[in-house]
Structure 1
Amino acid sequence: MSSFDLLEISKHAFMYSFFIYCASFIFFAVAVMGRNWSNRNPEQHMRKWGRIAFTTSSIGLAGHLLYFGTRWAGGTHIPVSNMYEFMSFLSMMIMIAFTVVFLIYRKTTLGLFALPIAIIVMAYAAVFPREVQPLIPSLKSIWLYIHVTLAATGESFFAVGFAAAFMYLLRTVNFKGTDKSDRRQRRWVEFTLFSIIIVIGFIVAVFAFRLGGYETVFTREHVTTSATTGVSTSKVENVAYTMPPIIAPYDSTTDHMESFIGITEPLFHAPSWIDGITAGRKLNTIVWSILAGIIIYILLRLIIRRSLGELVSPLLKGLDPDDLDEISYRAIAIGFPIFTLGALVFAMIWAQQAWGRFWGWDPKEVWALISWLYYSAYLHLRLSRGFQGRKASWLAVIGFLVIMFTLVGVNLVIAGLHSYAGTN
């Protein structure tokens, strides 16, 4: 079978596994919500549909593994070298981590929260270019593959820990309470849900304008001066926007712009400290993500006429909060040593081989270290200070938001040695 055929199989396997995961999520929702409407035995209803949902998710995972295997066989390297491949691999590992934890604890409701994380990560992956890209020299190392795969595996268990911790908060926060503590807890739960919707807004905005074929092109003359010779050179750079330019690149001119709702010129130009021809595009993407997220959130609130947390909380009645707290801790405890090896130890070995130094304060390195220190503090407080329940759950939720900023925000916002990852 040719490489082209394998890559075609890989592409279709990715798409099919995505839709199967969506179907599995629906079955998990039927299992959890349908028990409230079951006239016979609610627990029997939940077990029956829980088995159907888990079987469906396992079929989706098999398709996901097929995607990974055929893309690896059809390419020239393990498919983790750009953002599309890495986020696809991360979503696959989240499903593997969910499967492991589900088989241990048999908590059907966990699928109602873990599946959306995998689905959102897969959809986020589909935003980036899917072509198999040749490796730059620094990526041609076995240490890179070990570093990336282990880091993603650790992060996948953090994702399951986040899901269980957030379920704990939704289960225990008093959405009817009127005192200051209850109101503060509700606000932070809602902010967490809003943060997730921002990521969904990014995906929706990218695909909406991509389907519409929108494009605007900017041109800028970039002048660089050699530090050794003092000689200045200039070159003309072009950048294409696939979203309407609320913010254009700094010191650029419009080469071609498609009108959007009557707007024919950029609303703003990026400030001088946000330099670089692609920096303005990244900032523009962030603005559109926030706007799309706000619109989606407002529409949801208008439809349901209450907070999102208040809508979801009743689904978790009957669950033991202590079980959710234990699942969250165990998932993070499994993921932490794997993440330590992947994101730090083997990453530094690769950095020494690729760039001749173990540590260079690259933004991605710094945020990987911040993530590791954060989860180190979580485990320390959990084991030595007795942080359990709500305190530990909030730590787990915030920790995964840090992980997501490391994966999403750093790549979109901050330039560095990891910018090869398909975001420019």
Structure 2
Amino acid sequence: MNWLDISSTAFQAAFYLYCASFICYAIAVGGKRWSNRKPEDHNRRWGRFGFILAVAGWACHLTFFFTRWKGGGHIPTSNMYEFMTFLAMAIVFAFIIVHLIYRNNLLGAFAIPLVVIIIAYAAVFPSEVQPLIPALNNYWLKIHVTTAATGEAFFAVGFAAALVQLLRVIDFARTDKAGRREQKWVEFVLFFMVVIIGFLVSVFAFRGGGYEAKFQQEKVSIDQQGVQQSVTQTVEYGLPPIVAPYNSEKLSMQPYLGIKDPLFEAPSWMNGVNAGRKLNTVIWSLLSGAVLYGLLRLIARKPIAAVIHPHLSDIDPEDLDEISYRAIAIGFPIFTLGALIFAMIWAQIAWSRFWGWDPKEVWALITWLFYSAYLHLRLSRGWQGTRSAWLAVIGFIVVLFTLIGVNLVIAGLHSYAGV
């Protein structure tokens, strides 16, 4: 029996079921105006379909996880592809738990598309099973990664509820300075999500077209004895190189839009793994996202948030506020265990120290401190409603930077996750 083939099939089934679930939730949110049923009946019916499909997708996703574990010989959380697929599975699990508690159907309209985006992002990375490096071959790493990701999954559900709450309560008819500022910031969050989608569109479009470019990069470093060392490596691009790697020479490059050479070189201070290529990807993401956002604005003739707002009129914002808080309250102790305590135990085993101020460690601590402040302000200062929702949204953006952004610009012991 080929466990990896079964794993691949189950993963594809999970992705399609999640997409179908999102469609059902979208109909529940946006289709009630054209339904002959009462809005609450329409919402309940399509929301139920969406939840059933999400549960079925999660069952397939769970099958993917265990069959890949069986076929690969180790828990599938050792590289960026495996970690992001596990994070997506954990988010669905967190959504199911929160849904069973609060029975809010429309939360899936924002939580499930987040899962779809994360799975599509994972597909950008190589999906082959890779052998473990020595630092990863420890059962404490399994505990550390799975619990940290589960905590982040509950943060993601809190983010989804908070974003729906903001879209629900912000008055787009206001023209005063404070009102316009709120409108612009919530629109910026949606633009940020469109940029991620633009990244996926650009990557898969150029990958489908077979685009590639190659550079030879020389990296110079100085060891502890003060001896200068030089390493030459080949960097391959899947997107047209607007940015060349620092201190590199072009080996091959397919012209695009009449451009035959990169426009500029990546700065020397970007020391992450393949930093030039990743900066190039960020630029393409912004460009693609801006074009996609412009098309959506052209079609809608108004801000995206203003288009979504009328469809959320039946939702109680206080329920969303409670869901967001409870999801984060559940995720916080799990994240504390996984990202700090279990991580330090593994660090002691792998690197003979509990804490080393590695960039990923620092940002995990920043994430923990941020959500600590969120819970403190919520419980001690009475921060609820819009202020609490904004903190939940900002907190998840910090989580995303910790997961993805750190590898783009900073070198560290966790950089292997971006390979």
SS at match of 2:414: helix
Contact kept in structure 2, 1:175 and 1:186, CA below 8 Å: yes
Paired residue type of 2:67: T
Distance in 1 (CA, whole Å) between partners of 2:30 and 2:231 is 60
Aligned pairs for 1:186-335 (under 5 A) are: 186-228=183-225, 231-274=227-270, 278-335=274-331
Alignment size in residue pairs: 419
Instruction: Give the structure 1 partner of residue 77 of structure 2.
Output: 80
TM-score of the superposed pair, with normalisation by structure 2: 0.97
How far off is 1:413 after superposition? 2.4
Q: Which moved more, 1:78-87 or 1:192-201?
A: 192-201
Instruction: Give the structure 1 partner of residue 104 of structure 2.
Output: 107
How far off is 1:220 after superposition? 3.0
Task: Tell whether 2:50 aligns with 1:63.
Answer: no
Task: Tell whether 2:24 aligns with 1:39.
Answer: no
Task: Tell whether 2:343 aligns with 1:340.
Answer: no
Contact kept in structure 2, 1:246 and 1:266, CA below 8 Å: yes
Deviations 1:275-305 (CA, angstroms, capped at 9, x unpaired): 5782211211111111111111111111111
The gaps in structure 2 that reach 5 residues or longer are none
Change (3 A) 1:358 1:34: same
Distance in 2 (CA, whole Å) between partners of 1:126 and 1:354 is 29
Q: Which moved more, 1:234-243 or 1:279-288?
A: 234-243
TM-score of the superposed pair, with normalisation by structure 1: 0.96
How far off is 1:56 after superposition? 1.1
How far off is 1:260 after superposition? 1.0
Change (3 A) 1:107 1:134: same
Instruction: Give the structure 2 partner of residue 406 of structure 1.
Output: 402
Deviations 1:361-396 (CA, angstroms, capped at 9, x unpaired): 111101100000000000000000000001100100
SS at match of 2:31: helix
Distance in 2 (CA, whole Å) between partners of 1:145 and 1:340 is 15
Contact kept in structure 1, 2:203 and 2:239, CA below 8 Å: yes
Contact kept in structure 1, 2:273 and 2:408, CA below 8 Å: no
Contact kept in structure 2, 1:238 and 1:277, CA below 8 Å: no
Task: Tell whether 2:178 aligns with 1:166.
Answer: no
Deviations 1:65-121 (CA, angstroms, capped at 9, x unpaired): 111111011111111111100000000010011111111111111011111111111
SS at match of 1:158: helix
Change (3 A) 1:65 1:276: closer
Distance in 2 (CA, whole Å) between partners of 1:214 and 1:25 is 31
Paired residue type of 1:321: P
Change (3 A) 1:363 1:311: same
Paired residue type of 1:37: W
Distance in 2 (CA, whole Å) between partners of 1:41 and 1:174 is 25
Contact kept in structure 1, 2:272 and 2:415, CA below 8 Å: no
Contact kept in structure 2, 1:237 and 1:277, CA below 8 Å: no
Question: Which of 362, 365, 373 is the equivalent residue of 1:366?
Answer: 362
Deviations 1:229-258 (CA, angstroms, capped at 9, x unpaired): x55444432111111111101221111111
How far off is 1:222 after superposition? 3.7
SS at match of 2:75: coil
Task: Tell whether 2:113 aligns with 1:116.
Answer: yes
Instruction: Give the structure 2 partner of residue 89 of structure 1.
Output: 86
SS at match of 1:55: helix
Task: Tell whether 2:9 aligns with 1:12.
Answer: yes
Distance in 2 (CA, whole Å) between partners of 1:50 and 1:394 is 26
SS at match of 2:175: coil
Distance in 2 (CA, whole Å) between partners of 1:363 and 1:226 is 20
Contact kept in structure 1, 2:273 and 2:415, CA below 8 Å: no
Distance in 1 (CA, whole Å) between partners of 2:135 and 2:270 is 27
Change (3 A) 1:290 1:214: same
Distance in 1 (CA, whole Å) between partners of 2:77 and 2:272 is 26
SS at match of 2:6: helix
SS at match of 1:253: strand
The gaps in structure 1 that reach 5 residues or longer are none
Deviations 1:294-345 (CA, angstroms, capped at 9, x unpaired): 1111111111110010011111111111111000000000000000000000
Aligned pairs for 1:371-386 (under 5 A) are: 371-386=367-382
Change (3 A) 1:188 1:33: same
SS at match of 1:417: coil
Deviations 1:386-409 (CA, angstroms, capped at 9, x unpaired): 000011001001001110111111
Distance in 2 (CA, whole Å) between partners of 1:219 and 1:276 is 16
Aligned pairs for 1:106-185 (under 5 A) are: 106-185=103-182
Distance in 2 (CA, whole Å) between partners of 1:202 and 1:331 is 28
* RMSD between superposed Cα atoms in Å: 1.4
How far off is 1:44 after superposition? 1.7
The percentage of counterpart residues that share the same residue type is 63
Task: Tell whether 2:22 aligns with 1:25.
Answer: yes
Deviations 1:38-68 (CA, angstroms, capped at 9, x unpaired): 2232222221222111111111111111111
Change (3 A) 1:262 1:351: same
Contact kept in structure 2, 1:250 and 1:275, CA below 8 Å: no
Contact kept in structure 1, 2:270 and 2:409, CA below 8 Å: no
Paired residue type of 1:181: A
SS at match of 2:267: coil
